[in-house]
Structure 1
Amino acid sequence: MCRWAGLTILMKGETSSSIMSNPSLNNDDIRAKFVPSNSKYLDIELTSNETLICYEISILSVRKSECENEITVDEVVVRGEDTVVIRCGSEIIPGSEGDGKGLLSCRFKVMSAQESLHKQLKIFLDPEHAKCCICLNVWHDVVTVAPCLHNFCNGCFSEWLRRSQEKHSSVLCPQCRAVVQFVGRNHFLHSIEEDILKGDVSLKRSSEEIAVLDSYASIKSPLVINIGKGSHRKRLRSPPEESSLELACPQCGTEFAGYRCNPSTVHLQCHSCGGMMPSRMSVAVPQHCLGCDRAFCGAYWHAHGVTRSDSHPVCSTETFKPIIERTTTRMPFWVHEKNRHEQDITENCIRQMGRTLQDVISEWLMKMNNREIDRTRMPLNHAEMITPQTHTCTDCYDKLVSFLLYWFRITMPKHFLSPEASQREDCWYGYACRTQHRDEEHALKRNHVCRPTRGSHM
């Protein structure tokens, strides 16, 4: 039984065959739900033994008082304390059939066993297993060390790493004392960390504590850590020849620009060429791309006058340099969510305006720098810190160009578009539409360079 707007309705448990065929589910396990016709309202889930449903209904009709004691079920008006059997698929509208215009209607649906069980499935993780052994709190910006695979806060382990390098030839795991050879951020555990804190707000740290931790955090990309010659964990060490080959960089054994690596120096591996360079937070030359936090060695070695050799790979300076020094002659693959039709429209518009792609990018780069556009959708890390002088890798620069061309298109007057392009209707899901990638006709028929009006990206 359920009560709706003062009326009593007998809910007949018409179950699907999947539920009836499962003898382990008794009547109390049978679930159903009311599905509002307006998607902005949540579904109302219930079990067969529930007797009351409270649901706020937006009644737009001026005759609200006349329809409070009557409803329409499958075009049959039910009044007063009458009862009616509703089945799977029944449509329920407050008010009589004539008065129902403008009111929120719902459709009754019996959930399948799979759907019901899926909604009840939860994964539980003991927060005690998600705590850093240094600060004894739930991880913050969790990092994982190898080969022991223990996890710590980024700030906690960064400080441990700094102190270990000052006093010892090797870095030991704070939990098991194994020699650490590698450390990197763990994005999978980071999502688990967030879920734990959402489930138990008492485990959250204060904003002051988080600010202190973030100030200590120095691990932005995977670090390869040298194993000192005096390490007592010999079984974890590689043969001397192999170790020197893996960790060798031009500043290992040779002094460049007043710096020489010592046995405990932490090295970064370049994402582009795979070569090594010392991790130096104090140098003015950036070693990480601000857009993706990956390490690139080209700018560092170029500043020190080091060139590529057979024993020391060095990537080209073109792979990692300031945004302002880059030029764009082609439409990046990422533009307009990889929709080739929209890319062609943008290219034609630029051509008809008598401009080049680089002209447009330079103009909108200055607008971005002057805070004239919203950076919320910028697909780069640390979006608020990006400036024309920021060093980025080629991939991140292409993503930035895609972001700028999106703003160029949505602010462009329609008379610059071709008649075919300007007459298209906007897709409900805008740039977030997934159909545009698999349906050529849909990608061509609708405009996808627009903001979504439906879905989770609104």
Structure 2
Amino acid sequence: MDEVGECSHANTADDIWAKLVPSDSKYSDIEIRSNEVVVSSQITNSSLDKHEWCKITRNSDLRSAKMQNKSSNALLVDEAIVQNDDVIDIQCGSEIILGPAGEGYMIYRFKVMPSRESCKQQLQIGIDVEHARCSICLNIWHDIVTVAPCFHNFCNGCFSEWLRRSQEKHSDVLCPQCRAVVRFVGRNHYLRNIEEDILQADSSLRRSDEDIALLDSYSSIRSNLVIRSGKRPRRKRARSPMGVESDGLEVQCIQCGSEFSGFRCNQDTVHLQCQACGGIMPSRTDSSVPQHCVGCDRAFCGAYWHSEGVSGSNTHPLCNRETFMPIAERTISRIPFLAHEKNRHEQDITETCIRQIGKSLQEVISEWIRKLNNREIDRTRMPLNHAELINAGTYVCSNCYDKFVSFLLYWFRITMPKHLLPSDALRREDCWYGHACRTQHHNEEHARKRNHVCRPTRGTDM
């Protein structure tokens, strides 16, 4: 690599402010040290000859650069064609292909290195003091310990005393804050530094020397401690609703204490925890009511408790039915955020197309659900588990339904007659990488100028 020109910034000879990283790891990175460089390297994968192909000039923001094509070939920069002597701005992450097509040509990724000054800057972390209090003594942590698997934090002395009393009275040790069964406790050196910074910033939060001495006398946790469970395994505890005290006892499912629809839990009943509300329900292999979302395989309790005639409880977390329903019974009024790979320009075009044909979003989705049921759609790209099993009657959670609708909107768009597309959308060329394009996520101009509701013609069809 030949370098020309003088450095206008305080770069030393050892400073590397950017790199050109080849897509093939068998080739070395091209390190850029000066603020203006002419880059020479091999152009194709099959030739070892090096050629001068671009000039890179660092921009004043120190985070981007201008690249001038010095090659006789057209270059591709973030899929835009750059002819000989043309100049284009490149950002960290920009993809550069050294020819008019990717096949056989070297591909580089432009990477800006962190400056020496930014590396020295200390990371500033904001924390609400109320989140740094022990829930047992309500003071700022002292000699902090963290319990697992819930990861709540306490003073060493406070939790040590709780641990001693719990092991005297119960077979399991429950978290003082959430009542989850504690399996592990250890000192947290990282949060101890934060504790010290808080007290240094506000000395009024410090305890007296007598309080500290008393707390230290209770402390018994000196190293990581694995806490054995009691003799009898206990059911997984649900997350308690806000404001509900459980008095140190685990919350069980409603059917552990009452009979509904002829069923009541016994000692051998296996339970599931709902992924939406954290509530507990029995795992029922004898019931036809779905308890798992087909799209993500997670458990949800809305359909089960609805079928049992349980509509609400002041002491047990329960989902409403809308969290877990058949696809055909769901309604939708807006395009999901996930649609078209979160590309808002494509979402706006789809919304315009729906208005153009005089239908509502719900009508369009219902029409494409019928096509799905009739096996008229290729399900290869459906971003859900068990795609072949999904139909109008399938129970899915709200998140999976949004993914399902996004999948149908993709098919709606690619089958849309061109004369129904907005005029500005008609003028756009297809992106080579189609729906799998990564540039659309960080380059607003590229996301707007190219059509991404299409199949990739380069790269991997994901």
TM-score by length of 1: 0.50
2:376 to 367, 372, 378: 372
How many residues are paired up? 287
Aligned equivalent of 1:456:
460
Counterpart-to-counterpart distance in 2, 1:106 and 1:229: 62
Which stretches of structure 1, 4 residues or longer, exceed 6 Å deviation after superposition? 41-45, 71-74, 103-107, 227-230
1:432 to 431, 436, 449: 436
Aligned equivalent of 1:421:
425
The root-mean-square deviation of aligned C-alpha atoms, in Å, is 5.1
Equivalences for residues 127-206 of structure 1 within 5 A: none
Equivalences for residues 309-328 of structure 1 within 5 A: 309-328=313-332
SS of 2:451's equivalent in the other structure is coil
Aligned equivalent of 2:240:
none
SS of 1:371's equivalent in the other structure is coil
Equivalences for residues 34-433 of structure 1 within 5 A: 231=232, 244=249, 246-433=250-437
Counterpart-to-counterpart distance in 2, 1:43 and 1:368: 45
Shift of 1:276: 1.0
Aligned equivalent of 2:451:
447
SS of 2:346's equivalent in the other structure is helix
Decide whether aligned partners of structure 1 residues 405 and 298 sit closer, same or farther in structure 2, where only a CA change above 3 A counts.
Answer: same
Letter in 2 for 1:451: R
Decide whether aligned partners of structure 1 residues 452 and 361 sit closer, same or farther in structure 2, where only a CA change above 3 A counts.
Answer: same
Shift of 1:72: 12
Residues 251 and 316, structure 2, Cα contact 8 Å, conserved in 1: no
**Identity in percent:** 63
Decide whether aligned partners of structure 1 residues 243 and 279 sit closer, same or farther in structure 2, where only a CA change above 3 A counts.
Answer: farther
Instruction: Specify which structure has the higher proportion of helix.
Output: 1
Residues 435 and 452, structure 2, Cα contact 8 Å, conserved in 1: yes
Residues 229 and 263, structure 1, Cα contact 8 Å, conserved in 2: no
Shift of 1:354: 0.7
Structure 1 gap ranges (5+):
1-20, 22-34, 46-55, 58-70, 75-90, 92-102, 108-145, 148-169, 171-180, 183-226, 234-240
Decide whether aligned partners of structure 1 residues 271 and 243 sit closer, same or farther in structure 2, where only a CA change above 3 A counts.
Answer: farther
Shift of 1:450: 0.8
Counterpart-to-counterpart distance in 2, 1:365 and 1:396: 15
Residues 340 and 453, structure 2, Cα contact 8 Å, conserved in 1: yes
Shift of 1:229: 9.3
TM-score by length of 2: 0.50
Residues 426 and 446, structure 1, Cα contact 8 Å, conserved in 2: yes
Counterpart-to-counterpart distance in 2, 1:232 and 1:340: 50
Structure 2 gap ranges (5+):
1-13, 15-21, 29-44, 53-70, 72-102, 108-147, 150-170, 172-180, 183-227, 235-245
Residues 228 and 264, structure 1, Cα contact 8 Å, conserved in 2: no
1:106-145 CA distances to partner (integer Å, 9 max, x unpaired)?
Answer: 89xxxxxxxxxxxxxxxxxxxxxxxxxxxxxxxxxxxxxx
Letter in 1 for 2:253: C
1:237-272 CA distances to partner (integer Å, 9 max, x unpaired)?
Answer: xxxx6674x341110121111111112322211111
Shift of 1:363: 1.0
Shift of 1:231: 2.4
